[in-house]
Structures are given as C-alpha cells and as structure tokens.
C-alpha cells in the first residue's frame, strides 16, 4: 500500500471515529470563519444531510449581470448580455435535499496526484503537458480532464461531488452569495482582476467569442496558490477555496435550462446537454470575481484541460 493510500485509509477511519464520537467544533459565529462545523482529521469535512437553497432568484441574477458589467469595466460585455447565461444557465432558486457526505477541505494537490500516478491509477499526462510553473507539490492539481479527476477520486475511495453537493458545501443553508457570506471582501479568495479580458477567442462548437482572462497579483498570487492560503474565505462548514484559486469539476452534465427536470432529492444531471459540457464551479485565479459566486454555473468539454481548473473529492456518509 502506498503512503498516499495509507493516508487516505487513516483519514477514512478518523472520519468515521469522529462521527461516532459526535465531535463538533465551537459555536462561535464570526464573519469569514466557519460556524457549526464538524471537523475531522485527514483533511475532509463532514456536510450534514438536509435541505438547502440552490440557484439564484431573478433579483440575484440581475445583480450578477450588473457585477459582470462592472467587472468588465464597460468594455465589450457580450457575456453580460447573454440571456442563456443569466436566465437559463443559472438555475432558478429551489429547495434541494442532499444526503450527508464528506468533502475534501482543500482542492487535490499535485503531490497527491503524483502518488496516484505512481500507484498506476492515474494518467501522468497532466503532469507532463501543462505549465510547469504550476506543478509544485503543494499547488492544486490542475490541467486535468473530467475523467482524470474522477479516476483520482476513485483511487482515493471517493468520487467527484454532484453539483448540488458542491453548492451546499460552498454556501450552507442560508443561500449566501459567497462562501464567507453575503458581501465580497479583499483577501478572501484568489481571483482575477476587476478588468476587461484582454483577448477574445472564437470557439467551436459553441460558435461564440470567449474571453481569455488575466491573473490579478493584488490578491497575493498571480497563479494558483497553495490551498488554504485564504483562510478568511472559508465556507460555513470550513471548506476552503470554493471561490477562486482553481475552478472545480463536478459530476453533472451542464443542462440547457438550469435544473429543469432534476429531482429535488440528491439531484445529478446524467443527461448530456449544452454541447456535452460538464459543470465547472467556483471560478479561478484568472477569472473575474462574479464567476466565483456560490451559485454560478460554468461548463467545459469533459476532455479539455486548463491551468485554472482542478477538483476535490467527496465520500458518501450513509
């Protein structure tokens, strides 16, 4: 058994023991700090089962559109005017129930992925085809396809989170806009600048102009940062970097019209739509802040790679 596998086994045992003992964190409520958190050793966080508010109402979607315009400084804002992004792709508010699960506190890092490759369970291609600046052991593992992310999670005795699980872990039960609360703040996340994109690229098969963003060094990093660098940006359960740093693959296909037709109980969109894209959540270090709101849905081709896209894993707790 490799050291990484042993670490994961010990983590799972510690997680189970912690739940059996009913360990709980303190009850202090403070903006930017986790509240009502059940912490577990082994870098996983327990998310209790129950209902939460998924998606955004029209007031929030209009606010998102305004933020899009502002963060592009009024320069070509074609994305901000697209109804399919702001009224179709963003799911309307609804109550959703998810069963209890555990989620990685941090995004999977390069060192962990290397261990999976060494064990013969993961493809080494992401380690040899990406930007070598972002392959330090402590940085989030990016440049992975959707299936490569899933392979790692299976090796680690887990799976990719569903979109609903990811959103609950990010926003809790009070429908917050950001993982840390209702208002944005400085030094809470590693995101791109409030500025216009510098390049627009025409992409197939979607036949649209897509912006290429630039990093923002003012938040302390001009690329991905080691997970946990921004502790005041944690979610209500204590999960870190769910806004910015690297965006994250989730299990679902990106539906054409929000969450239409999906069950309100443990939903998972397993039907291809919108060019077969898989859902991506959380925004990245080179994307403007509005894309890192807890309810914003983005998507990418399952076999695509990006230095700004990584993942984290979950485990079922039933």
Token pair for 220: 């302390």
In which band, very low, low, confident or very high, does the pLDDT at 34 lie, cut at 50, 70 and 90?
A: very low
Residues 6+ apart with CB under 8 A from 6: none
- DSSP letter, residue 267: -
**Whole domain around residue 156: which residue ranges?**
3-7+43-316
In a domain, 17, yes or no: no
For residues 256-270, give the mean pLDDT: 93
Residue-wise pLDDT tens digits, 171-209: 999 999 999 999 998 789 998 876 555 455 555 554 555
In which band, very low, low, confident or very high, does the pLDDT at 98 lie, cut at 50, 70 and 90?
A: very high
Residue 318's closest CA among 41, 43, 96, 19?
Answer: 19
Cα 70 to Cα 64: distance, rounded to the nearest angstrom: 10
When divided into structural domains, the chain yields a total of: 1
In which band, very low, low, confident or very high, does the pLDDT at 220 lie, cut at 50, 70 and 90?
A: low
| Backbone phi and psi for residue 24, each to the nearest 5 degrees, phi listed first | -140, 155
Global pTM? 0.82
In a domain, 27, yes or no: no
In a domain, 225, yes or no: yes
Token pair for 106: 């941090």
Contact present, 189 and 246 (Cβ < 8 Å) = no
In this structure, of 55-69, 229-243, 300-314, the range with the lowest mean pLDDT score is: 55-69
Residue 40's closest CA among 225, 282, 314?
Answer: 314
In which band, very low, low, confident or very high, does the pLDDT at 26 lie, cut at 50, 70 and 90?
A: very low
Cα 185 to Cα 178: distance, rounded to the nearest angstrom: 10
In this structure, the strands spanning 298-300 and 278-281 are antiparallel
In a domain, 38, yes or no: no
- DSSP letter, residue 253: E
The per-residue pLDDT of the chain, averaged, comes to: 82
Contact present, 19 and 222 (Cβ < 8 Å) = no
Residues present in the chain in total: 318
Residue-wise pLDDT tens digits, 119-144: 999 999 999 987 888 899 999 999 99
In a domain, 37, yes or no: no
Helix ranges (DSSP H) in the chain: 3-21, 58-71, 83, 110-118, 125-128, 146-155, 163-171
Max CA separation in the chain (angstroms) = 55
Residues 6+ apart with CB under 8 A from 203: 209, 210
DSSP string, 280-300: EES--TTS-GGGGSTT--EEE
* Percentage of residues in the chain having pLDDT higher than 90: 59
In a domain, 36, yes or no: no
pLDDT at position 255:
85
Name the more confident of 236 and 89.
236
Token pair for 120: 């013969």
Cα 60 to Cα 90: distance, rounded to the nearest angstrom: 10
For residues 70-97, give the mean pLDDT: 78
In which band, very low, low, confident or very high, does the pLDDT at 77 lie, cut at 50, 70 and 90?
A: low
Q: What is the CATH number of the domain that holds 58?
A: 3.90.1580.10
In a domain, 282, yes or no: yes
In a domain, 26, yes or no: no
Where b means 16+ CB within 10 Å and e means fewer, 241-256 reads bbbbbbbbbbbbbbbe
In which band, very low, low, confident or very high, does the pLDDT at 107 lie, cut at 50, 70 and 90?
A: very high
Contact present, 97 and 141 (Cβ < 8 Å) = no
Contact present, 278 and 254 (Cβ < 8 Å) = yes
């Amino acid at each position: 058994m490799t050291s990484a596998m042993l670490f994961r086994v010990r983590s799972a045992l510690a997680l189970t023991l912690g739940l059996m003992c009913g360990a709980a964190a303190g009850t202090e409520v403070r903006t930017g700090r986790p509240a009502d958190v059940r912490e577990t050793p082994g870098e996983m966080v327990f998310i209790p089962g129950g209902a939460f508010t998924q998606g955004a109402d029209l007031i929030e979607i209009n606010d998102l559109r305004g933020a899009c315009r502002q963060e592009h400084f009024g320069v070509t804002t074609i994305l901000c005017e697209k109804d399919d992004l702001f009224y179709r792709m963003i799911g309307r508010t609804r109550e959703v129930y998810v069963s209890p699960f555990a989620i990685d506190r941090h995004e999977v890092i390069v060192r962990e992925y290397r261990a999976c490759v060494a064990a013969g369970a993961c493809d080494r291609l992401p380690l040899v085809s990406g930007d070598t600046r972002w392959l330090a052991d402590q940085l989030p593992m990016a440049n992975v396809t959707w299936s490569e992310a899933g392979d790692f999670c299976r090796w680690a005795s887990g799976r990719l989170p569903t979109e609903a699980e990811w959103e609950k872990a990010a926003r809790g039960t009070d429908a917050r806009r950001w993982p840390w609360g209702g208002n944005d703040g400085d030094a809470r996340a590693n995101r791109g600048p409030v500025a216009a994109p510098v390049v627009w690229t025409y992409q197939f098969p979607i036949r649209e102009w897509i912006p290429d963003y630039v990093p923002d060094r003012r938040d302390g990093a001009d690329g991905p940062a080691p997970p946990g660098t921004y502790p005041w940006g944690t979610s209500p359960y204590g999960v870190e970097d769910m806004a910015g740093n690297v965006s994250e693959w989730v299990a679902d296909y990106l539906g054409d019209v929000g969450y239409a037709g999906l069950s309100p109980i443990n939903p998972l969109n397993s039907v291809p739509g919108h060019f077969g894209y898989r859902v991506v959540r959380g925004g990245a270090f080179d994307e403007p802040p509005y894309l890192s709101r807890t309810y914003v849905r983005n998507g990418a081709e399952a076999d695509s790679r990006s230095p700004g896209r990584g993942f984290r894993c979950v485990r079922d707790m039933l």
